[in-house]
Amino acid sequence: MAPEPRPELLEVPDVVHGALDFAELERLGLAPEAVLDFSVNGNPYGPSPRVRAALATVALERYPDRQALALRRELAQHLDVPPSQILVGNGSAELLWLAALAFLRPGDAVYILGPTFGEYERVARLLGARVQGYTAAPAAFHVDPQAVAQELHRTSPRLVFVCNPNNPTGTYLPCETIAAWAGAFPQSLFVVDEAYLPFVAGAASVHTLRLANVLALHSMTKAYALAGLRLGYALGPEPVVQALAKAQPPWSVNALAQAAGRAALSDQQHLRTCLARLAQAKGELVRGLQALGLAPLPSATHFFLVPMGNARRCRQALLRQGILVRDCTSFGLPAYIRIATRTPADNARLLAALQAYGQSGVCHGR
């Protein structure tokens, strides 16, 4: 008899992600370069020019530094934390998997604030944990801190996943709310995914509160525009960070990613310029959508939800015009699409495509 995979695999949901699906594009006869991607919440202006210059100098025949020491030291200086409180990973996705690998045992409870990024549930189920959760309701997606505290008391989770600001809603919880939960439940590890924090003007990382049971995850693929290279880092108390490091496969952060990260970090002016341009472009895009009669939801980020009636149909119709938006059905929100702001020229193309879609008479979003 053929060997069977672990039974927990049967419990693992298929997670849908944004970004181009190359097989789908092939079926539709679309070239990937011809598609404008509003489905990933990245920085459409691309990385600092310093990144490409740094990549050209990397010795490809050499193994990367397994501890990413140079990058960690520079991050440490930039963030004013000791390098021992930083772990670099192959995207923040690897780091959230490592947090689960390092801390979860079969049967443990995991608490997830939803609707949110699907990888938290995926890894929790793979490890045989029991998934509990809070589901904020449309259209405000307000989180009731008291209700969450009561559920935390009832479930006593070993791990709590909080995405802040949240994907897909773009809602932002003050650090103090998370800190109050963490203080009240010291036996739970709070993994706070701050992948999109740079897109929230003036927001501070929960890491600045230096709490013993809080780990912050940062992505360098989004604001620094290194999605193709994969890079992120975890910030937290040393024992927690060292536990993740123990679970990490060797060389998971390649030499190109490490060099790119250092170059990107050195160019804070590029980051600031991109974020300022995006914030302005978001305001214009939202006004453009409202002028079409659509009702984008308020968000703290450059991405936001828009009710469209049937999100799947909307995505498909726009994709045929070379425009990709995120159908939020997989988040349990089949009436919503998620749009991430791009450059003003790209946004104008989206608005034109949505206008054509509305005129086709299939848009019942209001």
Ligand X SMILES: Cc1ncc(COP(=O)(O)O)c(C=O)c1O
Under the rule (CB under 6 A), what is the footprint of ligand X?
Answer: 91-93, 117, 163, 167, 193, 195, 219, 221, 227, 232
Least distance to ligand X, CB of residue 195, Å: 4
Torsion angle (degrees, nearest 10) of CA 279, 283, 286, 291: -160
Q: Which is nearer to ligand X, 317 or 325 (CB)?
A: 325
Closest C-alpha to 197, from 176, 226, 167: 167
Q: Which is nearer to ligand X, 315 or 357 (CB)?
A: 315
Least distance to ligand X, CB of residue 200, Å: 13
Please name the residues in contact with 156: beta carbons below 8 A apart, sequence gap of 6 or more: 109, 185, 187, 188
Q: Residue 10 carries which DSSP code?
A: G
Q: What is the largest CA-CA distance in the chain?
A: 63
Closest C-alpha to 38, from 354, 356, 291: 354
Closest C-alpha to 218, from 200, 189, 197: 197
Q: Which is nearer to ligand X, 103 or 303 (CB)?
A: 303
Least distance to ligand X, CB of residue 348, Å: 25
Least distance to ligand X, CB of residue 330, Å: 12
Q: Residue 13 carries which DSSP code?
A: P
3-class DSSP state of 192: strand
Using CA of residue 255, residue 257, residue 258, residue 259, what is the dihedral sign?
A: positive
Contact indicator for 235, 215 with CB cutoff of 8 Å? yes
Least distance to ligand X, CB of residue 2, Å: 33
Q: Give the pair of three-digit tokens for residue 10.
A: 């049967």
Least distance to ligand X, CB of residue 122, Å: 12
Q: Which is nearer to ligand X, 223 or 317 (CB)?
A: 223
Least distance to ligand X, CB of residue 117, Å: 4
Q: Which is nearer to ligand X, 48 or 92 (CB)?
A: 92
Q: Which is nearer to ligand X, 94 or 317 (CB)?
A: 94
| DSSP assignment string, 259-315 | HHHHHHHH-HHHHHHHHHHHHHHHHHHHHHHHHTT--PPP-SSSEEEEE-S-HHHHH
Q: Give the pair of three-digit tokens for residue 23.
A: 């097989």
Contact indicator for 189, 213 with CB cutoff of 8 Å? yes
Please name the residues in contact with 279: beta carbons below 8 A apart, sequence gap of 6 or more: 201, 302
| DSSP assignment string, 15-71 | PP--S--HHHHHHHT--GGG-EE-SS-S-TT-S-HHHHHHHTT--TTSPPPTT-HHH
Q: Which residue is nearest to ligand X (CB)?
A: 91
Q: Which is nearer to ligand X, 177 or 355 (CB)?
A: 177
Q: Which is nearer to ligand X, 120 or 357 (CB)?
A: 120
167 phi and psi, to 5 degrees? Answer: -100, 125
Q: Which is nearer to ligand X, 119 or 357 (CB)?
A: 119
Q: Which is nearer to ligand X, 199 or 357 (CB)?
A: 199
Please name the residues in contact with 199: beta carbons below 8 A apart, sequence gap of 6 or more: 41, 165, 222, 223, 275, 278, 300, 301, 302, 303
Least distance to ligand X, CB of residue 78, Å: 17
Least distance to ligand X, CB of residue 230, Å: 6
Least distance to ligand X, CB of residue 219, Å: 3
